[in-house]
Amino acid sequence: MKMNSSLIIVNKMHQMSVRGFNPIRCLSTSKVLPQKEECKVLVVGAGSGGCAMAAKLSSKLEKGKVFVLEPADKHYYQPMFTLIGGGMKRLEQSYRSMCDVLPKNAKWIKEKAIEFDPNSNSVTTSSGRKITYDVLIVGTGLQLNYNKIPGLEEALSIPDGNVCSIYSPKYVDKTYEALQRIEDGNAIFTFPASPVKCPGAPQKIVYIAEHYFRRANKRNKINVIYNTALPVLFGVKYYADALWPICKERNINVNLCRNLIEVRPKENVAVFQNLEKPEEIFEEKYSMLHAVPPMSAPDELAACSELVNEAGFVNVDKNTMQHVKHKNVFAIGDSSASPNSKTAAAAAAQSPVVYENVLAYLNGKELKGSYDGYASCPLVTGYNRAILAEFDYNLNPLETFPVPQNKERYTMFFMKKELMPSLYWHMMLKGYWNGPALMRNALSVFKFGTK
């Protein structure tokens, strides 16, 4: 007797399943339920702050209690990009493998966070995995929006082109190439109308470029222009007052409140808007254009209105770094809405505060850690000098060394170029460096003696 065809199919499927193959699952068109995982602390983003927090907390909590959600293969020391742009460092010196910088006691999930749900204490990843947490630390950093300026990505993609940017590893090498290539005309440098990581970097590359042109004996043929969307040269007046004379002495033309809105690479034209009088549009020819892209919180984070403010940054108390509504959420670094300058030094100073307050929250204790807004920016002014700017929330100088730091010094340049990278790789990312507060206190007696 012939077996019914449907019965044959069922029988075959049963045999296949016995051998470890599940034909029902493979034939099904229904959506597979996302994988769920649980952790004590979830760190989203493995930048400066994220790595420091993962190192600190994974050494305190049991192994596997801390998860790190980060899709990138490489971790870049971004403060080195300015030096790469000036030919003082190489791109390969600026990064390490992500698996080498993350702590072994933490679990690395090599995926991107695509949805935040603080009401259910969960984050969904790019593969559909759902991770629940007791505490969330957001350290996603800033998103580079080159696409927000029409024509900029096209200009940056031109081989041997004259448009460059130190802000991305994809483009940073083009900067030194452009410095070498330009012989005359306008060298234009920009600062966008948006938050910026390391807000001193857009003008550092101006000073480095101007010094390079002098060393190459072509400065008298090149007009150096710095167009910044800011109404000031630098946000801290104490240091701005020291930078203006440098610009004047070196004949650097500074235009305030001037924002790059378009690049026309076929014509070598940059289009700017006067932010004080928006109807005023300027078109400037360039032989070299260094463009700093507008920046923002990552789109996935900004989409979560429960977590962020109107600007898209995690809405935390500026002192405790704890979310104002969701008490088991903290932020560190550039993704935070705290009104400090967005620098790696700020993340270092925030790290002991976040660490102390996360542990206090987990243990049901009062949060006592308090961040004072400390940030630092070594303003490299050429190939052998720098001004070390340090300041707090009130934009008051908060200097570490017993000498006036609003002066150009070789010692500050050497520290920036040679010492800080080692401090970053071997101390900060491992959770040992909390900023220079202890050093500042120790050296304060010498400051007193110099007055």
Is 251 exposed, middle or buried, given 0-12, 13-18 or 19+ CB atoms closer than 10 A?
exposed
Is 248 exposed, middle or buried, given 0-12, 13-18 or 19+ CB atoms closer than 10 A?
exposed
Catalytic residue among 198, 247, 257, 304: 198
Residue 377 is among the residues annotated as catalytic for this protein: yes
Instruction: For the beta carbon of residue 347, count every other beta carbon within 10 angstroms.
Output: 27
Catalytic residue among 51, 247, 257, 377: 377
Secondary structure string (H, E, C) spanning the chain = CCCCHHHHHHHHHHHHHHCCCCHHHHHCCCCCCCCEEEEEEEEECCCHHHHHHHHHHHHHCCCCCEEEECCCCEEECHHHHHHHHCCCCCHHHHEEEHHHHCCCCCEEECCCEEEEECCCCEEEECCCCEEEEEEEEECCCCEECHHHCCCHHHHHCCCCCCEECCCCCCCHHHHHHHHHHCCCEEEEEEECCCCCCCCCHHHHHHHHHHHHHHHCCCHHHEEEEEEECCCCCCCCHHHHHHHHHHHHHCCCEEECCEEEEEEECCCCEEEEEECCCCCCEEEEECCEEECCCCEECCHHHHCCCCCECCCCCECECCCCCEECCCCCEEECHHHECCCCCCCHHHHHHHHHHHHHHHHHHHCCCCCCCCCCCCEEEEEECCCCCEEEEEECCCCCECCCCCCCCCCCEHHHHHHHHHHHHHHHHHHHCCCCCCCCHHHHHHHHHHHHHHC
Dihedrals phi, psi of 117, to nearest 5 degrees? -135, 80
CB half-sphere exposure, 73, CA atoms < 13 A: 0
**Alpha carbon distance 230, 212 (integer Å):** 25
**Alpha carbon distance 148, 333 (integer Å):** 23
Residue 198 is among the residues annotated as catalytic for this protein: yes
Q: Quick check: 366 and 358 in contact, CB under 8 A?
A: no
Which residues participate in catalysis according to the annotation? 198, 377
